[in-house]
Amino acid sequence: MKKIGVVDTTFARFDMAHAAIDEMQMLSPNIKIIRSTVPGIKDLPVACKILIEEKQCDIVIALGMPGGQPIDKQCAHEASTGLIQAQLLTNTHIIEVFVHEDEAENEKELAWLTEQRTREHARNIVDLLFHKEKFQKQAGKGLRQGFADAGPLP
Amino acid sequence: MKKIGVVDTTFARFDMAHAAIDEMQMLSPNIKIIRSTVPGIKDLPVACKILIEEKQCDIVIALGMPGGQPIDKQCAHEASTGLIQAQLLTNTHIIEVFVHEDEAENEKELAWLTEQRTREHARNIVDLLFHKEKFQKQAGKGLRQGFADAGPLP
Amino acid sequence: MKKIGVVDTTFARFDMAHAAIDEMQMLSPNIKIIRSTVPGIKDLPVACKILIEEKQCDIVIALGMPGGQPIDKQCAHEASTGLIQAQLLTNTHIIEVFVHEDEAENEKELAWLTEQRTREHARNIVDLLFHKEKFQKQAGKGLRQGFADAGPLP
Amino acid sequence: MKKIGVVDTTFARFDMAHAAIDEMQMLSPNIKIIRSTVPGIKDLPVACKILIEEKQCDIVIALGMPGGQPIDKQCAHEASTGLIQAQLLTNTHIIEVFVHEDEAENEKELAWLTEQRTREHARNIVDLLFHKEKFQKQAGKGLRQGFADAGPLP
Amino acid sequence: MKKIGVVDTTFARFDMAHAAIDEMQMLSPNIKIIRSTVPGIKDLPVACKILIEEKQCDIVIALGMPGGQPIDKQCAHEASTGLIQAQLLTNTHIIEVFVHEDEAENEKELAWLTEQRTREHARNIVDLLFHKEKFQKQAGKGLRQGFADAGPLP
């Protein structure tokens, strides 16, 4: 039984953890979910590291929705840097799923994008745990999470 | 009895620690506050780490008011990066409460915003220690500290 | 027998690992390739570190194609910073091969550039393992991977 | 007897260490100064860490004057990031005193500002060692080092 | 007998290591040079750390010539950050000598500047090892490596 950490925020405007957990449970009965919700994206790195080191999670999905202002971009940069450090300190993957508020044209598209990207990365989590060989087959295919794939160069 | 570290600065133009401590003591009799005041926000990371490692704080609130100039933004970025590192090195949450001088229209609003954001994050501190389940119920609700909540996407 | 880690992504639009492995196997029969494919460039640092620490790779080549938007530049910066940290934590070289989508005029040139840079860095990998003295002879020669060499100053 | 590290540079255009040491010796007979001078601000972090770990300094003041060009701002950012890391790795305060060449209108004001800020931070060093309670009394007072205090919000 | 690490790149357009070694050997018979050449500046940090930890170098000079494009500035920033980290992890000085391609008006001046700055920093290396007291005498003198000294403020 593999343990998957799911970390999300109250700052996000969409229940990303619900989408991620729903997707992962559809794909695999053989997982245990451990969830942690924190205020904002800068709280994600340590929350992920705690799930790995103190709750023995095998992998973590880190979910967040940075705002659209310059200060939000800076926060996202700090959070991402921290998430990479947390991975290096634990030799464990943390898949970051960030949806920036200015990526979509309107709130409806933003909700769609957030759910779509979250579910696609949730599948990546399951594949990293159980079907690592799938990634090699898709290497260089220009895959994207959320919007359409870019596809391989012609 | 949980120990909460409160770190603030002489650079800030509002007594953020007073607001944080007042709010936390109203909410919970079952805490011990350990306070440390430093000159500026770049002194916060090590001060927080010392409270965690040498004073056994279970969580820390880091309070600061970066100025509005580009150099101040850079200082805030460096301080934030350090606060995330301090958390990763201790597996302990440090809630950063920064109010940028250019977030408000005037000094009166800035004072209001600073007190409001500080008190709301002080509640987060208490909830992280004693009511962690509250965050999960508010996940994805678009909560903000200070100004009005953004709310969940429709 | 030296072990070489090859880490690539499904985000890339070209099968960089294929080019790298092909080039290295042409150059040296005396190597063992261990490959790992991850979703995106921010997943590279920990994947490289795992290959070094858990699969005993002697060196790693990290392959990625950042997009052309500002957010992609930021991701590339975070990934690069993580790759340098991974090296410092393992005392092992990780050669980063990034081809930015806006480096080429069109998709055909982008494919050419990606293959060319990947193959040239694959040769660097083999030389770092078996012919370290070659680099000293080329020191200060203005070598580039992909486009033409800049050459030494006159 | 407390040991204070003083680290300065040959790049600076003002003898900041002289001002810092003079101020500290006026304030306290009970200190031992250990000084280290390095070429530039990017050499400060390791010099400070060496004073803490190999010379047992209880605190360090890091003195520098970044130039006014964009590349100088980047150097200052790298140095500041390193100084924060050095603190986190040693649980010891390093007070950074940087005076940017473009902070003053002319060279005369720059010299005045550099001496003033250095002396005010030298007092902070002594207070951090011997009168930590002073900071709490000044918390949120909008103190500045060099130019006039901003003061508390009305 | 002190050991000095010299790390340079094939990316640079000038044989910086030759200039550095020549200068250091003129100044001191009492040194042993250990040289390592890598492809680019982002490979410098781990190469320096390896020389310190596995070849017992007492100090290292890191030589590079970043290009003039924005992406090159970002690479230089990442390399510099890594060099500072490598120093903090080893308590050993690494003197960074970077000459940016856009610092000079033309290729002739660029070659002159590169040699000049490299030789001046090579002297710093020797002085850091054998004549540390020289730096203190030059503290705050506005020294520069390459172009003319800025000099102390009047």
Contact yes or no for E10/C141 (Cβ under 8 A):
yes
User: Touching D: which chains, 3+ CB pairs < 8 A?
Assistant: B, E
- Please, is D110 exposed, middle or buried when counting C-beta atoms within 10 Å of its C-beta (0-12, 13-18, 19+)? buried
- Flag whether pLDDT at A5 surpasses 90: yes
Which tens digits make up the pLDDT trace of E79-119?
A: 999 999 999 999 999 999 999 999 999 999 999 999 999 99
Q: What number of residues does chain C have?
A: 154
| DSSP string of C52-85, one letter each residue | HHHS--SEEEEEE---SSHHHHHHHHHHHHHHHH
Which tens digits make up the pLDDT trace of B122-145?
A: 999 999 999 999 999 999 999 999
Torsion, Cα of B129, B132, B134, B139 (10° steps): 120
State the best of B37, B63, B112 to mutate against chain D, taking most chain D CBs within 10 Å. Answer: B37
Shortest distance, CA D1 to any CA of chain E (angstroms): 24
Inter-chain CB proximity A77 and C74 less than 8 Å: yes
Inter-chain CB proximity A45 and B84 less than 8 Å: yes
Residue E2 in contact with partner chain C when CB distance is under 8 A: no
At residue C85, the pLDDT reads: 98
Inter-chain CB proximity A100 and C71 less than 8 Å: yes
Residue B36 in contact with partner chain A when CB distance is under 8 A: no
Residue D18: its chain E contacts at CB < 8 A?
A: 139-140
Chain C segment 39-78 residues within 8 A of A by beta carbon are 39, 42-43, 45-47, 49-50, 53-54, 67, 71, 74-75, 78
Contact yes or no for B15/D138 (Cβ under 8 A):
no
| DSSP string of A94-136, one letter each residue | EEEEE--GGGSSSHHHHHHHHHHHHHHHHHHHHHHHH-THHHH
| DSSP string of E3-21, one letter each residue | EEEEEEESSSSS-HHHHHH
With a pLDDT cut of 70, the percent of chain C lying above it is 100
Residue E114 in contact with partner chain C when CB distance is under 8 A: yes
Residue A16 in contact with partner chain B when CB distance is under 8 A: yes
* Alpha carbon separation from C42 to C50, C72, C75, D23, E61 (Å, rounded): 14, 10, 7, 48, 30
Residue with tokens 């060009």: D69
Residue E71: its chain C contacts at CB < 8 A?
A: 73, 100
Q: Which residues of chain C are modeled with pLDDT < 50?
A: none
Point out the residue among A81, A145, A152 whose CB comes nearest to the CB of C14.
Answer: A152
At residue D29, the pLDDT reads: 85
Residue A8: its chain B contacts at CB < 8 A?
A: 139-140
Rounded mean pLDDT of B56-75? 95
CB atoms within 10 A of CB B89: 19
Point out the residue among B36, B37, B45 whose CB comes nearest to the CB of D88.
Answer: B45
Inter-chain CB proximity E139 and D74 less than 8 Å: no
Residue A81: its chain C contacts at CB < 8 A?
A: 78, 81-82
Torsion sign over Cα D40, D41, D45, D47: positive
Point out the residue among A17, A85, A108 whose CB comes nearest to the CB of B139.
Answer: A17
ipTM given for this complex: 0.97
Inter-chain CB proximity E37 and C135 less than 8 Å: yes
Inter-chain CB proximity D153 and B13 less than 8 Å: yes
Point out the residue among A91, A95, A152 whose CB comes nearest to the CB of C39.
Answer: A95
Rounded mean pLDDT of A98-103? 96
State the best of E33, E36, E65, E78 to mutate against chain C, taking most chain C CBs within 10 Å. Answer: E78
Torsion sign over Cα C70, C74, C75, C80: positive
Average pLDDT value over all residues in chain A = 97
Distance CA B84, CA A49 (A): 11
Contact yes or no for B92/B60 (Cβ under 8 A):
yes
Residue E117 in contact with partner chain C when CB distance is under 8 A: no
Inter-chain CB proximity C88 and E45 less than 8 Å: yes
Shortest distance, CA A5 to any CA of chain B (angstroms): 14
Residue B78: its chain D contacts at CB < 8 A?
A: 77, 80-81, 84
Residue D141: its chain B contacts at CB < 8 A?
A: 10, 13
Q: Which residues of chain E are modeled with pLDDT < 70?
A: none
Point out the residue among D37, D78, D107 whose CB comes nearest to the CB of E153.
Answer: D107
Inter-chain CB proximity C141 and E10 less than 8 Å: yes
Q: Supply φ then ψ for residue A89, to 5 degrees.
A: -80, -15
Inter-chain CB proximity A153 and C13 less than 8 Å: yes
- Flag whether pLDDT at A100 surpasses 90: yes
- Please, is A108 exposed, middle or buried when counting C-beta atoms within 10 Å of its C-beta (0-12, 13-18, 19+)? exposed
- Flag whether pLDDT at A16 surpasses 90: yes
Which tens digits make up the pLDDT trace of A51-92?
A: 999 999 999 999 999 998 889 999 999 999 999 999 999 999
- Flag whether pLDDT at A29 surpasses 90: no
